[in-house]
Amino acid sequence: MLGQDNRPGLAPQIWFALAMAAIVLSLLVAHHLELDDGAVQEVVHLQIERLQASAAEKADQEADEETPPGQEPSGSVVERDDPVATPTPEWLSPTPRPTVTRRPPDEARRDHYWLERPIAPPGNASPMRFYPYASRMDGSYPIHHGIDIVNPAGTPVLAPASGVVVVAGDDDTQVYGARPGFYGLLVVVQLDQRYQGMPIYVLMGHLSEVHVGVGQHVAVSEVLGLVGETGYAEAPHVHTEVRLGRNDYMHTVNPELWYRPVEGRGTLAGLLMTRDGEPVDTEAKLVLRRDGQYLYEVFTYPSEQVNPDPEWGENFAIGDLQPGTWTAEVFFRGVLYTAEFQISAGRTTWLVMEVG
């Protein structure tokens, strides 16, 4: 997923494209060799490390060049008026974010894993960790409103739950993101279920083909289309969003709290807050370690565009973590804070860290 109000520079674009290509290649190799999950992760990491140096060198050589625009999508969109209206934000005047009341840290929370993964085995069902929900990747990318699941072009994209197709086609004229042509070919499904009376929409973008039509009722795991790289994309993947209350770019919540974890994995959601009880309003980086090994980074949400989940009230979350004991570390105003937490398969762990 690329581009919102400012186009990123060439260096991160090269890195992003090469990293995604490395993941796709590694997944294909791992499947051919029947590697286990740990070996797959090692192959991906090795591919990425080898590409970092060449990406930086190439970026230096081409620093003054403009990145060519994304592939132009084709097709048409017809939006369904029933069962509920699905307004779209204006390109230059986006609708305001929804008001979400953040829950007290000690209040009970419940999982709502209502969505199944949109990619079936043996495909990759986990999101790419370089550009998670609410992040800016290396700081030069725009705020991400969803998650990206990388797979080879042509991989079937499945309905994550039963519902009605309200958008199917391209977004050349009807805007569903930051600007026309943002998602290329896309499908939006309004779920049969509602959350606290609010409609739920799931968006799938950058498809190479769309296999459903507006008004069609789809069952869970029914094919919606195929993985592609239409719109603002640099490599084949499916960009997916969860929109709560309205089919609107500013009404997204973190999909990792809605998609059921992959088999044998769990989710972390948490709140990084100051000692006076206020959520940290800067984009702080938390490092997640397991058995002392540096495995993942997760960032707190920015104060604009994206939203905490109404059930969790978090300002960071990450899914598909291995069960066991983990440690979270964050530097805040020059001080290192750490917290230990346990991940259990099939559920979300809640973590509150006080800093400052």
- Residue 40: pLDDT band by 50, 70, 90 thresholds? very low
What the block records as the tokens of 56 is 């930086």
**What is the pLDDT, as a whole number, of residue 139?**
74
Joined together, the tokens standing for residue 165 give 């197709």
- In the numeric block, the tokens 């993985």 are attached to 227
Asked if pLDDT for residue 248 goes beyond 60, the answer is yes
> What CA–CA distances, in Å, run from 102 to 45, 171, 242, 262, 278?
36, 33, 18, 27, 10
pLDDT digits (tens, 9 = 90+) for 171-198: 999 999 999 999 999 999 999 999 999 9
71/257: higher pLDDT: 257
Q: Which of 127-141, 300-314, 339-353 has the lowest mean pLDDT?
A: 127-141
For position 89, what pLDDT does the model report? Answer: 41
Cβ-proximal residues to 337 (8 Å cutoff; 6+ apart), any chain: 329, 330, 331, 353, 354, 355
d(Cα 171, Cα 114) in Å, to the nearest integer? 27
Domain boundaries 266-355, CATH class: mainly beta
Q: Would the pLDDT of 221 be above 50? A: yes
Place of tokens 């969109």: 77
77-123, pLDDT tens digit by residue?
444 444 444 444 443 344 566 666 678 888 889 999 999 999 999 99
179 DSSP assignment: S
Q: Please, which pLDDT band fits residue 36 given cuts at 50, 70 and 90?
A: very low
Say which residues have a Cβ less than 8 Å from residue 226's Cβ, sequence separation at least 6.
153, 154, 155, 156, 157, 207, 208, 209, 211
pLDDT of amino acid 19: 56
Q: Average of pLDDT values for 327-336?
A: 95
Looking at the DSSP bridge assignments, the partners of residue 273 are 279, 354
For the chain, the C-alpha Rg in angstroms (whole number) is 19
pLDDT of residue 39: 43
Residue with tokens 């791992």: 30
Fill in the amino acid letter for 320.
D
Q: How far apart are CA 207 and CA 190, in angstroms?
A: 18
- Cβ neighbours of residue 69 under 8 Å, at least 6 residues apart? none
Q: In the predicted model, what is the mean pLDDT of the chain?
A: 81
Q: Which residue has the higher pLDDT, 69 or 154?
A: 154
Mean local confidence (pLDDT), 132-155: 91
Residue 76 clears pLDDT 60, i.e. is over it:
no
Calpha distance 196→137 (Å, rounded): 32
